[in-house]
Structure 1
């Protein structure tokens, strides 16, 4: 599906309850600005919104009233700030919008449901009869139905569907070139297939970009608007967020950080699959990356060998990110266990030559602040980010 066709397909499937007159179909640009500020603040006041947007108080009041009528925001407890009368706190209405995300891994799939305020309501690991596209869709539909039933959620408030998968975008829009275990997914127009199956607007990203969006909305991005995200999984990918916006690049593949390495160094890139194999070679049976993530022991034989092996290429990647992108933080995320990420961070260094006794400022190295399945949560965050926030 070409980009214009994908956009038209998404618009056609926006549920009627979320539509507004005119174009854009969900919220106006000023409403989007207000919603973004409220999202980042958690709760705020009309006075704070006036200061943050430079809009007139009357305009802010009209915007808040319109958003309240549509159920997107609500008033909370009064806030006292400085002198004068306390103002009513404005916050997002959690139950106003729901979005679902599906992450396709080399070993399986995961589903997440996220509320309008970023609260993760449910996470499910899927058990499809096979990893064929049709079987994964059928299992995702069944699990989604179960989540809405168990949590007693209003299905009419389900807005959109985010899909994340390992791999890079090809020149054919809507298609990705995934790792070998998912090769059969490469022949499918995923956006069109999932839009038809789910009857919802669908957004497709690689898992690194999706996770970066989730981190921007719910994690490190709340304090670092500009960051790079390293997605550790079967391979190594990632995403770039600058001033709160995902940088996709001309072909949608920005953040393919492994491409920074030469062919000679590429084999030593820090992937969890290479770690899993090395641990197995040292006598510990680890059957999958999910197994590695669940049972990781820093004292397993092979872990220290792997850390030494990947230290140099990872330092090269971090140094290139720092020099080219200049973010305030680099996030270690994906399926990497937190203790492993912390040991990686402790062992790497930036190539940063001093000049007159001073070196360039370098990004903070941080472990992801998103708990749970980063790609599935990020995928669920995509419809909210693109349709309602900045």
Structure 2
């Protein structure tokens, strides 16, 4: 159930070992939501420690666990990660309690609720179809700490995992095969309104197939949107498209959302903002393509892309970073038109905010 891969990145100043576990916050049971986020925290808290700078992120259908280290330590860190995957997590009640307190602090900071920031909570509620859902919080519904520790020990059972080591030197990973799991496409439907601390804003999120051509078209579209003259009174937030295993960044632009303090809602993002950008001239398309191809991802980004790609791998169907770059080189007006048709035919959520009531 575990896949492994090694990417050699010449000139990198560090190495990264990234673990992807194929279960995220949408896979948590309704009666015990937040297990994926709790697992992320406890991975780094449990013994034995992994000798690396570490951080994680919990996505819709995956937990990503990063371990950065000096290049000559990649093999040792990969070995420690492999042993942890083999042995599983056995957190103590004290460790679970400490992780719950830390998560409680995250919930109280409200750092995801900036009015013009990326509304992760609102997208999570849309995907979960629960207006009260909080992907950061842990809701244990009466479980005591030992029972919660047992849930964490069982958390990855039956789900695929992947390990990618990336850095200036290679290393040996024991397991190089994966049992791919088919997952249905997520669907978003409807509208949500939330209170914000600032002015009114509106955003759209699309659910798109995770293929190399779609990812390439999304990156090109984001670059075209960044280069498009912006209407007076419009502000913008980071461009995003919701993909089956996570929210994939599009490097800015308005494709995810346009926040407007002047234009009256509703602002039709697809017809008024996205489609005009997709009707690019050959010169504009060439400039966007060159900008995307020259983008340099850091070693942690590459390790995460590879790990998620392994997690989702089907026989003979890989869509890694090189596949996306090759698709970027092939992008032409016809492929952009097909991408526009895909956006027009795919379910999307419209998320609006309004000034909070005082």
Output the TM-score relative to the length of structure 1: 0.24
Output the TM-score relative to the length of structure 2: 0.25
**Higher alpha-carbon Rg:** 1
- Structure with higher RCO (Cα < 8 A, 6+ apart): 2
